[in-house]
Structure 1
Amino acid sequence: MRAIWKGAVSFGLVNVPIRLYSATENHDVQFRQVHREDGGRIKYQRICSIDGEVVSYDDIAKGYETEDGDMVVLTDEDFKDLPSRSSKEIAVEKFVPADQIDPMLLDKCYYLEPDKASTKPYVLLRDALEKENRMAVVSVSIRTRMTMAVLRVRDGVIVMQTMLWPDEIRKPDFAHLDDEGKATKQELAMADLLIEQLAGDYEPDEYEDDYALALQSLVKAKVEGGEVRVAEESKDESGEVVDLLAALKKSVDKAKAARGESTSDEKPAAKKAAAKKTTAKKTTAKKTAKKAS
């Protein structure tokens, strides 16, 4: 694994330098959109919905759409005024009972590895969390934005898991659940019996993604059967750059035309005309010299 962030966990006067690693990875099979006929990849252009022009990255800004459908354009200067933090500190705010953290609040998960010189305080924090059955609520700045997270222990390693803000959890509004009435004693007894029949411990190895496995087998069979379409090289491998150059050229020509100057398309013709005039002058000069002699 490769560390994605370096910093330190601080609690009280204790400071534990650590490295952060992504604890999970997505194994979903990724597809590309291609042309059915030849397997060529589909490319997309950034087109303005108003003037239909191709827009370069330099001219793209962030926009916030209001409830009325209006657009508020935000500049880099606007974002500079927003609160941001670039601290490399994972600051422990408090230690709370583990059962007080609703799993719905938990988001992305990371492993924390200590530097060799800080192994002892790392182990101290790990063992204390396990012994007290608590989680550490921390604040951390990831990509300049401060967020809340928890530190917990899994398989002998301290794990940091970022948290959603409380207002990001939707409240269920299912009124009909209250209208159905309560279950009878007989129904509850039957439900208890069913649960008892299916009771057991969670064993991760008992479950697998059968869709992903079947899809991988399908692709492998097609490859082994020679059903592979080798796409020809794109005629325009740098299409995005060419589009940008074309847009820049168009802008330059438009600016020159507004000033009454010749455009890039007119330059070759102008050069040819100038060359003809120069040749004509040289020919005239030669004829005059011959007459004089």
Structure 2
Amino acid sequence: MPRSIWKGAISFGLVTIPVKLYSATEEKDIAFRQVHASDGGRIKYRRVCEIDGEEIPFPEIAKGYELADGRMVILEKEDFDNLPLATTKAVEVVQFVAEDEVDPTYFNKTYFMQADGPGTKPYVLLRDALVKTGQCALVKVALRSREALALVRPRDGLLVMHTMLWPDELRSGEFAAPPETVSVSDAEVTMAQSFIEALSGDFKPEEYTDAYREALEEVVQSKASGVAMPEQTEAPKEAEVVDLVAALRASVEAAKKRRAEGSAAATG
């Protein structure tokens, strides 16, 4: 069982729900080390003070905030622990909202919420009430040295919490919008809709894998064993798209063919 990363309570009106938080995700990536290319020796970094030039052990390193006038304010662990902030040990419910009202761009990280001790019954109460009303709890919480908005919602019999970015942390994407002078025809939109319908289906994440990570693992194993990788066939060059309707029509046919082949393989 993983270790909890935070322990506190949900403030649900006058009801207090003691909870523990567990990280709900983990990135599965290949970890590389920085090495000397000629002999494979690992590259190590030293923490050196720019004033006295001495290497500083980790326990002696503190966090500093540089003021506009150049002065450095040193903050210790106690300063963070004793912040005059109610949300350091509490998940404060500030509003209830429908889940589809929150743009997914705001979501940052997901946590499992586990009832702690006497919090089981009020935990179940909040979970069931959210399910019946179709609402989610918008909360404020302090995690990892910062306060964040978060969305608490029921999922698979438990409560999960998605921490969120603040509005001023989201960049404007106006620069990426196509010029208003560009337009498409009704026929092109219709064919695009046909392509979307041909590939529509239920979301089944277990059907997808990280092909890039798998390819990297093959390369690592190949170099470790001294066996050369088989030559890759050159990918066909994509033709320049001149007629969008014709390209989409061909895409629809290809999508239908792939879906038919996939169904045949599943039943066979």
The normalised TM-score by structure 2 is: 0.71
User: Which letter maps to 1:145?
Assistant: R
Cα separation, partners in 2 of 1:42 and 1:100, compared to 1, 3 Å: same
Task: Give the Cα–Cα distance (whole angstroms) in 2 for the partners of residues 210 and 144 of structure 1.
Answer: 35
- Counterpart Cα distance in 2 of 1:78 and 1:60: 6
The alpha carbon displacement at 1:214 in A equals 2.4
Shift of 1:147: 1.8
Residue identity opposite 1:157 in structure 2: L
Give the structure 1 partner of residue 70 of structure 2: 72
- What SS class does the counterpart of residue 17 from structure 2 fall into? strand
Q: Cα offset for 1:95?
A: 0.9
Distance 2:176 2:33 in 1: 43
State the number of aligned residues.
Answer: 221
Query: How much has 1:187 moved relative to structure 2?
Result: 1.4
Contact 2:141 2:148 in 1 (8 A): yes
Q: How many percent of aligned residue pairs carry the same amino acid?
A: 43
Paired with 1:158 and 1:45, the residues of 2 have a C-alpha distance of: 43
1:130-279 → structure 2 map (5 Å cutoff):
130-174=131-175, 177-223=178-224
Give the secondary structure class of the aligned counterpart of 2:178. helix
Alpha carbons 2:9, 2:91 under 8 Å: kept? yes
Shift of 1:118: 2.4
Give the corresponding residue for 2:263.
none
Displacement of 1:43 after TM fit? 1.8
TM-score by length of 1: 0.65
Shift of 1:84: 5.2
The answer for the alignment partner of 2:37 in structure 1 is 36
Aligned match of 2:130: 129
Q: 1:28 to 1:78 in 2, by over 3 A?
A: closer
Asked whether the 8 Å contact 1:20–1:111 carries over to 2, the reply is yes
SS in structure 2 at match of 1:104: helix
Q: 1:157 to 1:189 in 2, by over 3 A?
A: same
Q: Is 2:25 aligned against 1:24? A: yes
Q: Which runs of 5+ in 2 are unaligned?
A: 228-268
Q: Which runs of 4+ in 1 moved over 6 A?
A: none
Contact 2:62/2:74 (8 A) holds in 1: no
In 1, the alpha carbon distance for the partners of 2:155 and 2:122 equals: 17
Unaligned runs of 5+ in 1: 227-293
CA distance in 2, matches of 1:62, 1:45: 19
Residues of 1 paired with 2:62 and 2:20: CA distance? 35
Root-mean-square deviation (Å):
3.2
Q: Counterpart of 1:122 in 2: which secondary structure?
A: helix
Q: Distance in 1 between matches of 2:169 and 2:107?
A: 11
Aligned equivalents of 1:96, 1:55: Cα separation in 2: 51
Letter in 2 for 1:213: E
